[in-house]
Amino acid sequence: MAKGMPAFTEMRIVFSRARSPLAFLSKIIMWVERRPYSHVSVHFEEPATRMPLVFQASKGLINFYYKDTFDRHNLVTHCYSMPVSPAEYMQIWQYSVRKMGSDYGWLELLSIATEKLFHVKGWFKNGGKSNICSELAARVCRKAGLAMPENLDNLTPSGLHNFIKEAERGNVIRLTSYV
């Protein structure tokens, strides 16, 4: 275990929407999905400094935000807390750092829109070479030991929320207030 690592920690899966009334893409996603959120991110502490970070696919790439910056731009609708072991925590941290700067899944987003609006089966799959927010969060959940579907391409925020709710019913994850 890394020096200074807590014996037991947690990560949070956070569903949110943009605060800006001009956030066009956020509004479209909420309308198509018929949900009060358009975005999913993973929140945890940076291991060395314990700073609260947000890991997400947004603004055209995979990135980290400091939690306060995220909060200024997003309104949280649902927050779920999941315990992770130190080994899972380090695996999630290492995965996150390796993915930082990777491409956002614009074609996946278009594939989901095609499926939702025109009932054409999702046509784009790339196995995680690029990610949308819900796919990225699901990959992190899988690393934390949460059962996820085999194919995560084209997984929507609503689809991930359904898996999270199932885990909540099994007491694996819990709805929490966002702090």
Please indicate, yes or no, if residue 71 is contained in any of the structural domains. yes
Band of pLDDT at residue 112, cut at 50, 70 and 90? confident
What pLDDT score does 41 carry?
Answer: 98
Asked whether the beta carbons of 115 and 125 are under 8 A apart, the reply is no
Which structure tokens are listed for 3? 């020096």
Band of pLDDT at residue 77, cut at 50, 70 and 90? very high
- In whole angstroms, give the CA distance from residue 61 to residue 177: 28
Q: Which residues 6+ apart lie within 8 Å of 8 measured at CB?
A: 83, 85, 86
pLDDT at 82 over 70: yes
What pLDDT score does 1 carry?
Answer: 45
- Mean pLDDT, range 137-153, rounded to an integer: 92
Alpha helices in 20-85 (DSSP H): 24-33, 67-73
Asked whether the beta carbons of 138 and 160 are under 8 A apart, the reply is yes
Please indicate, yes or no, if residue 2 is contained in any of the structural domains. no
Higher pLDDT, 84 or 123: 84
Return the closest-CA partner of residue 151 out of 139, 163, 162: 139
- Mean pLDDT, range 32-55, rounded to an integer: 94
Q: Which of 19-23, 33-37, 64-68, 127-131 has the lowest mean pLDDT?
A: 127-131
pLDDT at 89 over 50: yes
Asked whether the beta carbons of 57 and 136 are under 8 A apart, the reply is yes
Please indicate, yes or no, if residue 1 is contained in any of the structural domains. no
Higher pLDDT, 87 or 4: 87
Please indicate, yes or no, if residue 84 is contained in any of the structural domains. yes
The pTM assigned to this predicted structure is 0.91
Q: In whole angstroms, how large is the CA radius of gyration of the chain?
A: 16
- Mean pLDDT, range 24-53, rounded to an integer: 93
- In whole angstroms, give the CA distance from residue 164 to residue 179: 19
pLDDT at 72 over 70: yes
Tell me which residue range forms the domain holding 21.
9-175
Please indicate, yes or no, if residue 148 is contained in any of the structural domains. yes
Please indicate, yes or no, if residue 3 is contained in any of the structural domains. no
In what helix (H) or strand (E) does residue 7 lie, and over which residues does it extend?
none
Question: What is the CATH number for 104?
Answer: 3.90.1720.10
Domain count along the chain? 1
> How many Cβ atoms are within 10 Å of 4's Cβ, its own excluded?
9
Asked whether the beta carbons of 125 and 105 are under 8 A apart, the reply is no
What pLDDT score does 7 carry?
Answer: 57
Please indicate, yes or no, if residue 61 is contained in any of the structural domains. yes
pLDDT at 88 over 50: yes
